[in-house]
């Protein structure tokens, strides 16, 4: 899914374990499988919970936004950029994350799946 040059994007291969990751998928998607250490704020609750992001995000670092395939995270990325936050959309989302062999855990910390 491509959103053009307007949405800053990063590939899975450019991310390291130290990068801050914001997952904007819904609860049932998160529970089935997510990147360990990611901050979870569903897109449907994002504006109301925006303060959680500003508290958790690195002050001088980038926010890497991820969803299932890249559509929702692109929307959140554009919102963050408009707020003056250094944010990028993770190209291909959790589907690309899983396909690249990156670890996915469920709500109990066990091996998970992307739904």
Told to judge if 67 belongs to the known catalytic residues of this protein, a careful annotator would answer yes
CA 17 to chain centre: 13
25 CB-near residues (< 8 Å, 6+ apart): 34, 40, 42, 43, 66, 67, 68, 72, 94
Q: Yes or no: say if 64 and 19 are a contact pair by the CB < 8 Å rule.
A: yes
Catalytic residue among 67, 87, 88, 94: 67
Catalytic residue positions? Answer: 67
């Amino acid at each position: 899914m491509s959103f053009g040059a307007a949405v800053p994007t990063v590939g899975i291969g450019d991310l390291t374990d130290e990068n801050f990751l914001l997952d904007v998928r819904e609860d049932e998607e998160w529970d089935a499988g997510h990147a360990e250490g990611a901050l979870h704020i569903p897109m449907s609750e994002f504006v109301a919970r925006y303060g959680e992001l500003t508290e958790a995000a690195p002050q001088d670092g980038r926010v890497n936004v991820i969803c299932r395939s890249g559509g929702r995270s692109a929307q959140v990325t554009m919102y963050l950029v408009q707020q003056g936050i250094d944010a990028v959309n993770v190209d291909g989302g959790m589907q690309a994350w899983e396909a690249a062999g990156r670890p996915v855990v469920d709500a109990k910390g066990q091996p998970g799946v992307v739904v």
